[in-house]
């Protein structure tokens, strides 16, 4: 083992410093410093094109970083990408199952691919079948399973070599709500038993089950912390949803109001991110009523992943402008 | 390492076993192809209805016509008294072939420059082809026989064959027969399987998203490729064996040369076509795309390789293309081994282009495949 090249703290499953990936002129991942503790359920959040999948691909050892360094389970990404591949598990949103093979055959295939010793294979597969609650379905074709079962089978395939770290790329996309909950209970349990899990998601209720959240935007980590800290300290803004009689006029009136940071139209309604310490639902209603605009409904709601994003991105942008102004002032 | 390779190979066979349609096609297509090509060509050509306008009424003419009938290719059904009648019969379709023997046929034969006219209805190309060929072959045969006769009786004057067959056909390619076509089909089969099945097996994984999982897994690129190639080769060899069995036992195709040599040289041929298959897979996103693209690469091989039509009869441009098509060389190898029983001492000339093609195309395809996975 090249322990000399393998650095990284013992309690960190993933650690990157200045990890960067450039494609031609585009910087997909921009000096990313990511730290995922061992045994932690880490939610990796970001809109499409933010650099999420590029980061995941680098962490899986299939994409070479342009710059910076990274260690996964203590293995250097640059020096030993092949060892990274054997050490981790990976499940994509497409589930990567062979529909024309049975549950058992899918597991056997991945067990062979991940070099599970022959003698242990049967026991391991049996354990996975129980874990994924697929007992009695071993001989069923994967293609005949419903969404939730397929999802758990895909997870079982990713876990068949008992990796210490698994990457789950939007594992609940396109799965019904009940199966989503079952699935999250399952990965929560895995994390509690010591498996490190890095998962990407778009759902706030899922994000809240994570130990730590990391928000990535334009290839940079723009916010990180526990869900509680993110929501109460970093975000700390009321979100108000209203149904206005004249949504367009209401949106215009609210956009001019300093107490409201962001107005987003969601379906027929308006969703407002109110500045910290700003008015609640009643205050918004009064403000609009004073301008002769009727509101049939106004209520404070839980912030969504998108709300958090909009707010973080906004701050990030303002921060950059401030940085540029300061640089200008210094050079002038 | 062997666990990974074995895993892929076992999985590929399981998938083939599950896909009963593909499995049936893999076994049935070779046989069907042989029957379609071999059988159609065998039966359609014999017993062509023939009309004769014998203006000479001589013994020599009668002997010639007997030879026509004995060949089984022609059935003399009509005796006519004029050109007009003959034309009418052919126009009506009652006769496919018309034979016109000149009034002074016996005298012409004696002067060793006899000529008869054979008119072939070309609207049915299969019939036309075989009738034309049969007539030409008979002409050559008879002229030899007549030469022998004349040398016994008279002093031989000059070297020209005494009988000049004037075959008038509106369609005239070269000799085609089941014996000639059937071994060639073996080459076409191998090509079909190695290109289409190889491309589809890769593209299917990409479409389903399983390729993504394989890329993230510890499987090496070469293990993935080899794991796909080995089952493909085994299928192709199975089909080839099937085709050879049918060719030999149903179509009486003799197998004169070494089967070991044939199977070994087939591997060199498939090396290149597997390369095409991999290239096709890198260029397609969906299975239907891969199939169409595979078919496109398959077409020039079928039409320009000399499988159905001889290369010598093609326009110059097509001939150039024919000589960069691997099937062209492989057909010579198959026919050489199966029909002529020749060995590597003659076939190395055909082997060299196959080796060169395989080296270039396979290397290119693997490079492209690897690049695409990164």
The alpha-carbon gap from B270 to the nearest alpha carbon of chain A, in Å, equals 27
Report whether pLDDT(A50) > 70: yes
- The band of B159, judged by pLDDT with boundaries at 50, 70 and 90, is very low
Q: Which residues of chain B are within 8 Å of residue A85 when distances are taken between CB atoms? A: 216-218
- Helices B344-373 and B326-335: crossing angle in degrees, nearest 10, is 140
Same domain, B311 and B348: yes
The runs of H, that is alpha helices, within chain B are: 2-18, 20-34, 40-44, 59-70, 83-92, 105-110, 125-153, 178-192, 198-208, 210-216, 221-249, 259-283, 287-304, 316-322, 326-335, 344-373
Q: Answer with the one of B169, B191, B220 that is the final residue of a domain.
A: B169
Q: Is the pLDDT of residue A8 over 60?
A: no
Q: Do B197 and B129 sit in the same domain of this protein?
A: no
Ranking A256-265, B62-71, B261-270 by mean pLDDT, the lowest is: B62-71
pLDDT of residue A184: 94
pLDDT band at B172 (very low <50, low <70, confident <90, very high): very low
Pair (B369, B285) in one structural domain:
yes
- Strand pairing partners for B166? B117
Cβ atoms < 10 Å from Cβ of A306: 16
* Residue of A56, A96, A118 best to disrupt the B interface, most CBs of B under 10 A: A96
- Tell whether B203 and B156 lie within a shared domain: no
Q: HEC profile for A185-238?
A: HHHHHHHHCCCEEEEECCCHHHHCCCCEEEEEECCEEEEEECHHHHHHHHHCCC
Encoding tokens for residue B259? 């089967």
Half-sphere exposure of B7 (CA within 13 A, CB side): 26
Name the helix (H) or strand (E) containing A23.
strand A12-23
Query: pLDDT at position B75, please?
Result: 84
Q: Which residues contact A253 (CB under 8 A, 6 or more apart)?
A: A287, A288, A291, A293
Last residue of a domain, one of B137, B169, B201: B169
Sign of CA dihedral A59, A61, A65, A71: positive
Distance from CA of B16 to the nearest CA of A (A): 9
What does the pLDDT look like over B72-103, one tens digit per residue?
778 888 899 888 888 888 777 788 888 888 88
C-alpha–C-alpha distance, residues A283 and A9, integer Å: 50
Asked if B59 and B18 sit in the same domain, the reply is no
B184 with B165, same domain: the answer is: no
> How distant is the Cα of B214 from the closest Cα of chain A, in angstroms?
8
- pTM, whole model, 2 decimals? 0.76
For residue B105, what pLDDT is reported?
A: 82
pLDDT at B140: 61
Q: What CATH code is carried by the domain that includes residue B135?
A: 3.40.1710.10
- The mean predicted confidence, pLDDT, of chain A is 88
Kindly determine whether residue A98 and residue B208, on different chains, have CB atoms separated by under 8 Å.
yes
Tell me: pLDDT of B158 over 50.
Answer: no
Q: Which of B3, B210, B219 sits opposite A98 (nearest CB)?
A: B210
Domain that holds residue B337: 2-41+177-373
Contact at CB, A85 and B8, closer than 8 angstroms: no
Q: What pLDDT is recorded for position B169?
A: 33
Asked whether residue A205 carries a pLDDT value surpassing 60, the answer given is yes
Bridge partners (DSSP) of residue A271 are: A241, A264
Identify the closest residue of chain B to A121 by CA–CA distance.
B3
B166 or A144: which carries more pLDDT confidence? A144
Rounded Cα gap, residues B271 and B191, in angstroms: 10
Do B60 and B150 lie in one domain? The reply is yes
Rounded Cα–Cα distance for residues B164 and A106 (Å): 73
Same structural domain for residues B319 and B194? yes
Residues B116 and B68 sit within 8 Å (Cβ to Cβ): no
How far apart CA B120 and CA B118 sit, in angstroms, is 6
C-alpha A282 chain-centroid distance: 34
pLDDT value of position B130: 67
Between A319 and B240, the more confident residue is B240
Arithmetic mean of pLDDT, B296-313: 82
Q: What pLDDT shows up at residue B138?
A: 67
Q: Would you tell me the crossing angle of helices B198-208 and B259-283 to the nearest 10 degrees?
A: 30
Same domain, B362 and B288: yes
- B195 in the same domain as B334: yes
As a whole number of angstroms, the distance between CA A3 and CA A11 comes to 16
**B14 vs A contacts (CB less than 8 Å):** 100-101, 105
Beta bridge mates, A141: A102
* Complete domains list, chain A, with CATH: 12-231 (3.40.50.300), 237-311 (3.30.70.100)
How many domains does the structure of chain B reveal? 2
Domain check: are B191 and B298 in the same one?
yes
Does ipTM exceed 0.90?
Answer: no
B221 and B278, same domain (yes or no): yes
**Chain A residues close to B209, C-beta within 8 Å:** 92, 94-96
Where does a domain end: B144, B169, B194? Answer: B169
Chain A CB contacts of B223 below 8 Å: none
Q: Residue range B178-187: average pLDDT?
A: 78
The alpha carbon of residue B298 and the mean position of all alpha carbons in its chain are separated, in whole angstroms, by 14
> Does B216 contact A114 at a Cβ distance shorter than 8 Å?
no
The pLDDT score that the predictor gives to residue B146 is: 41
Q: How much is the pLDDT for B43?
A: 42
Note the pLDDT tens digit of each residue in B183-192. Answer: 888 888 899 8
Is the pLDDT at B31 greater than 50? The verdict is yes
The more confident residue out of B277 and A50 is B277
What mean pLDDT is reported for chain B? 80
Range with the poorest average pLDDT among A40-44, A54-58, B173-177, B244-248: B173-177
Q: Mean of the pLDDT values across residues A222-237?
A: 84
């Amino acid at each position: 083992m090249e322990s000399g090249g393998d650095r990284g703290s013992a309690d960190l499953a993933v650690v990157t410093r200045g990890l960067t990936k450039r494609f031609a002129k585009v910087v997909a991942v921009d000096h990313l410093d990511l730290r995922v503790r061992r045994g932690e359920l880490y939610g990796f959040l970001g809109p499409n094109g933010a650099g999420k999948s590029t980061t995941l691909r680098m962490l899986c050892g299939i994409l070479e970083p342009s710059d910076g360094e990274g260690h996964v389970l203590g293995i250097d990404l640059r020096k030993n990408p092949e060892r990274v591949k054997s050490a981790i598990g990976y499940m994509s949103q497409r589930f990567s199952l062979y529909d024309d093979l049975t549950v058992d055959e899918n597991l056997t295939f991945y067990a062979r691919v991940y070099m599970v010793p022959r003698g242990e294979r049967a026991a391991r597969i049996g354990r996975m079948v129980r874990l994924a609650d697929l007992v009695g379905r071993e001989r069923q074709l994967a293609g005949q399973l419903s969404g939730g079962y397929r999802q758990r089978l895909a997870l079982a395939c990713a876990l068949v070599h008992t990796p210490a770290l698994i990457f789950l790329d939007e594992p609940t996309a396109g799965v019904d709500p009940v199966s989503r909950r079952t699935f999250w209970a399952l990965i929560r349990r895995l994390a509690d038993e010591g498996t490190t899990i890095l998962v990407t998601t778009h759902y706030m209720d899922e994000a809240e089950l994570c130990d730590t959240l990391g928000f990535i935007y334009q290839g940079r980590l723009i916010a990180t912390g526990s869900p509680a800290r993110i929501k109460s300290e970093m975000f700390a803004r009321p979100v108000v949803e209203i149904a206005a009689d004249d949504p367009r006029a209401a949106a215009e009136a609210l956009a001019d109001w300093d107490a409201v940071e962001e107005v987003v139209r969601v379906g027929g309604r308006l969703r407002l991110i109110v500045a910290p310490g700003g008015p609640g639902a009643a205050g918004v209603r009064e403000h609009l009523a004073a301008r002769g605009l009727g509101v049939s409904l106004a209520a404070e709601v839980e912030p969504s992943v998108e709300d958090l994003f909009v707010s973080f991105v906004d701050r990030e942008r303002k921060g950059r402008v401030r940085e540029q102004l300061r640089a200008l002032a210094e050079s002038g | 390492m062997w666990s990974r390779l074995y895993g892929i190979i076992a999985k590929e066979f399981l998938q083939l076993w599950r896909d009963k349609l593909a499995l049936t096609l893999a076994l049935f297509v070779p046989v069907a192809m042989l029957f379609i090509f071999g059988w159609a060509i065998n039966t359609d050509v014999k017993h062509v209805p023939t009309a004769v306008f014998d203006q000479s009424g001589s013994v020599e003419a009668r002997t010639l016509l007997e030879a026509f009938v004995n060949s089984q290719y022609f059935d003399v059904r009509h005796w006519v008294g004029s050109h007009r009648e003959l034309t009418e019969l052919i126009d009506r379709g009652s006769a496919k072939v018309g034979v016109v023997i000149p009034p002074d046929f016996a005298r012409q034969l004696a002067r060793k420059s006899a000529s008869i006219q054979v008119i072939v209805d070309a609207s049915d190309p299969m019939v036309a082809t075989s009738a034309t060929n049969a007539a030409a072959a008979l002409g050559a045969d008879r002229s030899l026989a007549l030469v022998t006769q004349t040398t016994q009786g008279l002093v031989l004057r000059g070297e020209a064959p005494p009988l000049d067959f004037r075959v008038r056909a509106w369609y005239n390619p070269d000799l085609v027969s089941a014996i000639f076509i059937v071994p060639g089909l073996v080459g076409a089969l191998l090509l079909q399987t190695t290109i289409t099945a190889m491309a589809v097996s890769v593209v299917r994984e990409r479409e389903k998203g399983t390729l993504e999982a394989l890329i993230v897994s510890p499987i090496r690129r070469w293990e993935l490729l080899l794991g796909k190639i080995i089952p493909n080769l085994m299928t192709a060899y199975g089909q080839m064996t099937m085709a050879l069995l049918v060719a030999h036992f149903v179509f009486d195709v003799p197998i004169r040369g070494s089967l070991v040599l044939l199977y070994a040289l087939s591997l060199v041929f498939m090396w290149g076509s597997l390369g095409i298959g991999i290239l096709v897979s890198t260029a397609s996103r969906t299975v239907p795309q891969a199939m169409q693209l595979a078919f496109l690469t398959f077409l020039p091989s079928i039409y320009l390789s000399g499988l159905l039509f001889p290369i010598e009869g093609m326009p110059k441009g097509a001939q150039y293309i024919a000589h960069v098509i691997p099937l062209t060389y492989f057909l010579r190898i198959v026919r050489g081994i199966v029909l002529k029983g020749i060995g590597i001492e003659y076939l190395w000339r055909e082997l060299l282009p196959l080796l060169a093609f395989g080296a270039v195309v396979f290397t290119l395809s693997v490079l492209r495949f690897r690049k695409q996975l990164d």
